[in-house]
């Protein structure tokens, strides 16, 4: 079969042992219910927590090839968003099948899940998961269809200020959440000046949550004098979001839904708390921060 970067790989008929080289891939394997086939993952794979107990092969950038070999994998999963080309090539040279995913959009990610499940010999699980996630997305889209998209600035890093480009995965995810990034850039991680942000005056600032200091993001920005000129900061329109938003994994859908709720509460008013959202909170066991609007 051919993987998502165009490499043709030959996967054994029975895939019993899998090694993943990125946290979002580990998450996908768990979401597909194939965790008992997972022979090893990286040091950084912590979602779900059970993944931490699996044997580790090292970092995502430079995993130990020997450790991978020692686990006798039938298939190794890699992704262009985190792993190096050289790792994949070295593994291929050793005769180990490597599937590299290359998701650019949310739909692409769903497709990726299907294809990966296919490679792992569990196409029905892939179909089921993918269809389920697609359904959630469609439901969300219906809710939001009459809502104008919120103009947001997605902050990847504050010093220096780095946002996202139009072609990134995150930009696409934002769109599904009923938001539009105000930064129109072809670069993937453009550096933006505060003046530009002041000129654009986005309605909301979306910041990745700092797990060590929950709730501190808004205060953090407000404490910076230059950021006061940004209306969204002054009025407290700062939305912290889980870092799931940055990763192409099933948990992304949760993050999208959460963000959609924050930005367009009117679309969700009227009861009908979907079973999904409580399942979201329960499954992830994290507190979802709602900011004061």
Partner 1 sequence: MRPLTPSRVVWVCAALAGALFVMVVIALRLGAYPISARDIVMTLFDGVMGRRDRIPSDFWLVVFGLRLPRIALGILVGAALSTAGAGFQALLRNPLADPYVLGIASGAALGSMLSLMLAPQVPGATQVAAFIGAAATTAVVYFLGRRGGQLDSATLLLAGIITASFLSAAIMFLETMLSGRDQRGMAFWLLGDLTAPPSVGLRWLYLVLIVVVGCIYTTAADLNLILTGEQEARHLGVHVNRVKLVVYLGASLLTGLAVSVGGAIGYVGLLVPHVMRMLFGTDYRLLIPASALGGAIAILLADTLARTVVAPTELPVGAMTALAGAPVFIYLMRRRVR
Binding site for partner 1 (CB under 8 A): 6, 43, 56-59, 61-67, 69-70, 72, 80-87, 89-90, 93-95, 187-189
Residues near 186 by Cβ (< 8 Å), separated by ≥ 6? 165, 166, 167
Smaller CB separation from partner 1, 82 or 291 = 82
Residues near 199 by Cβ (< 8 Å), separated by ≥ 6? none
Smaller CB separation from partner 1, 87 or 244 = 87
CB of 272 to partner 1, least distance (A): 39
- What SS3 class is residue 136? helix
Query: How many angstroms separate the Cα of 24 from the Cα of each of 13, 29, 129, 207, 217?
Result: 25, 9, 15, 20, 24
- What SS3 class is residue 9? coil
Smaller CB separation from partner 1, 130 or 244 = 244
Of the candidates 241, 4, 242, 20, the residue with the CA atom closest to the CA atom of residue 108: 4
DSSP category for residue 95: T
Retrieve residue 106's tokens.
Answer: 């949310």
Smaller CB separation from partner 1, 83 or 130 = 83
- CA–CA distance, 226 with 88 (Å, rounded to integer): 44
CB of 35 to partner 1, least distance (A): 20
- CA–CA distance, 280 with 276 (Å, rounded to integer): 6
CB of 126 to partner 1, least distance (A): 24
CB of 192 to partner 1, least distance (A): 13
Smaller CB separation from partner 1, 19 or 239 = 19
CB of 99 to partner 1, least distance (A): 15
Smaller CB separation from partner 1, 85 or 224 = 85
Smaller CB separation from partner 1, 61 or 219 = 61
Residue pair 257/263 in contact by the 8 Å Cβ criterion: no
- CA–CA distance, 276 with 272 (Å, rounded to integer): 11
Give residue for tokens 């809710």.
Answer: 143
Q: Which residues pair with 19 in a beta bridge?
A: 40, 76
CB of 57 to partner 1, least distance (A): 6
**Angle ∠(69,30,215) on CA atoms, nearest 5:** 115
CB of 248 to partner 1, least distance (A): 12
């Amino acid at each position: 079969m051919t993987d998502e970067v165009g490499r043709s790989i030959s996967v054994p008929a029975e895939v019993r042992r899998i090694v993943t080289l990125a946290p979002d891939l580990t998450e996908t394997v768990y979401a597909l219910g194939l965790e008992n086939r997972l022979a090893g993952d990286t040091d950084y794979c912590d979602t779900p927590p059970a993944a931490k107990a699996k044997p580790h092969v090292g970092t995502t950038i430079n995993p130990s090839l020997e450790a991978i070999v020692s686990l006798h994998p039938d298939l190794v999963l890699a992704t262009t968003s985190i792993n190096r080309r050289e790792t994949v090539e070295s593994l291929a040279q050793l005769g180990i099948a490597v599937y590299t995913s290359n998701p650019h959009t949310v739909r692409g990610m769903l497709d990726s899940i299907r294809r990966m499940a296919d490679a792992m010999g569990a196409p029905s699980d892939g179909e089921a998961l993918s269809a389920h996630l697609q359904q959630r997305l469609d439901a969300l889209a219906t809710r939001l269809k009459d809502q104008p998209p919120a103009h947001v600035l997605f902050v990847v890093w504050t010093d220096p200020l780095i946002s996202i480009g139009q072609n990134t995965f995150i930009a696409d995810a934002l769109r599904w959440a009923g938001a539009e990034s105000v930064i129109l850039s072809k670069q993937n991680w453009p550096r933006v000046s505060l003046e530009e942000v002041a000129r654009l005056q986005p309605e909301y600032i979306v910041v990745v949550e700092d797990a060590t200091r929950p709730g501190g993001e808004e205060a953090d920005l407000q404490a910076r004098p230059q950021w006061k000129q940004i209306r969204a900061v002054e009025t407290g329109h700062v939305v912290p979001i889980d870092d799931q938003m940055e990763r192409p994994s099933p948990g992304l859908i949760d993050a999208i839904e959460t963000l959609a709720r924050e930005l367009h509460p009117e679309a969700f008013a009227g009861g009908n708390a979907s079973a999904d959202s409580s399942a979201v909170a329960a499954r992830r066991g994290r507190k979802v921060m709602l900011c004061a609007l």
